[in-house]
Amino acid sequence: MDEQPRLMHSHTGVGMAGHPGLPQHLEGTGGADGDGRKQDIGDILQQIMTITDQSLDEAQARKHALNCHRMKPALFNVLCEIKEKTVLSIRGAQEEEPPDPQLMRLDNMLLAEGVSGPEKGGGSAAAAAAAAASGGVGADNSAEHSDYRAKLTQIRQIYHTELEKYEQACNEFTTHVMNLLREQSRTRPISPKEIERMVSIIHRKFSSIQMQLKQSTCEAVMILRSRFLDARRKRRNFNKQATEILNEYFYSHLSNPYPSEEAKEELAKKCAITVAQVSNWFGNKRIRYKKNIGKFQEEANMYAARTAVNAANASSHGSQANSPSTPNSAGGYPSPCYQSDRRIQ
């Protein structure tokens, strides 16, 4: 390479006026004849080919000379314009993508489960449902629930840590690329729009990684949720007190054992179960009572007697019982809880 004839004149001081280091033919005057132009192009190509042979100082000097050249801004503008009209216009049309429906689904799910968005006490629909279903009856259910919440919190923490990492990496990389491009824009035509496009490409790449993270987080939540719901299927009998309250209501409203929504809510609160469980219980009770009245007769008599005693106590103490099991229909009292005048058919 050293044997190559050097056609550059920069270090020898041969160049255009005011721009030492640039050959005169870059001034734009050019040769009048074709041979002269060919010679100029040959010179430039030769310079490019041999630029790697230059010392750092020489390269720096040439770079500086290029940057200071009076035609440089105009030339770069033209080149940027051409680039924009060709590549960018084509890509620009492709960039206008609608929001990814899958990503929206993932975001919605993470939000609903309380993984993303503001931290909620308990977080998820499953946890809420579970909380309602367990109704706080028994320590086991609440223990299961708190275990569920703890695991959900763990998932949430991992998700946010990873998300933060990705965002940080994305920002660092974007800044790095932007600096690099800005630096390069001094020596090659790079428009701000092009830098912007590059940034959006980087963001897209990182958001696809984020989508993977969201997907695996969703999967983890689904697994946790299904395990939890499976565990919930292992039913527990209601405690004795809850069964007594329900039975008292049932037998005291035997002529119309259909509690209204308000009565169900009150019973649910008293028994620490859900309204749905109250409905289930009454549904089961009605049908089982109807199927075998004889078998339930003893139970019915017992609750009727208890109700009568309660009523007597209440009246002698002049107090008003506010229980939904307040004696009424069994003793002929109309119940405000009746939703309609129905009987077990």
Partner DNA sequence: TCGAATGATTGGGA
Partner DNA sequence: TCCCAATCATTCGA
Least separation, in Å, of the C-beta of 323 and DNA? Answer: 19
Positions in the binding site for DNA (CB under 7 A)? 133, 233-238, 243, 258, 261, 276-277, 279-284, 286-288, 290, 295, 339, 342, 344-345
| CB closer to DNA out of 52 and 237 | 237
Handedness of CA 163, 168, 173, 175 (dihedral sign): positive
Q: What are phi and psi of 165, to 5 degrees?
A: -60, -45
Burial 150-159 (b: 16+ CB within 10 A, else e): ebbeebbeeb
| CB closer to DNA out of 182 and 288 | 288
Residue 67 CA to residue 185 CA, distance in Å, equals 10
Which residue type sits at 191? S
Q: How many C-beta neighbours within 10 Å does residue 181 have?
A: 17
Least separation, in Å, of the C-beta of 155 and DNA? Answer: 24
Least separation, in Å, of the C-beta of 145 and DNA? Answer: 14
DSSP class per residue in 303-328: HHHHHHHHHHHHHHTT----STT-S-
Least separation, in Å, of the C-beta of 114 and DNA? Answer: 22
| CB closer to DNA out of 52 and 340 | 340
| CB closer to DNA out of 237 and 322 | 237
| CB closer to DNA out of 75 and 293 | 293
Residue 159 CA to residue 79 CA, distance in Å, equals 45
Least separation, in Å, of the C-beta of 98 and DNA? Answer: 33
Least separation, in Å, of the C-beta of 230 and DNA? Answer: 8
Residue 221 CA to residue 19 CA, distance in Å, equals 67
Which residue type sits at 81? E
| CB closer to DNA out of 130 and 190 | 130
Residue 150 CA to residue 128 CA, distance in Å, equals 14
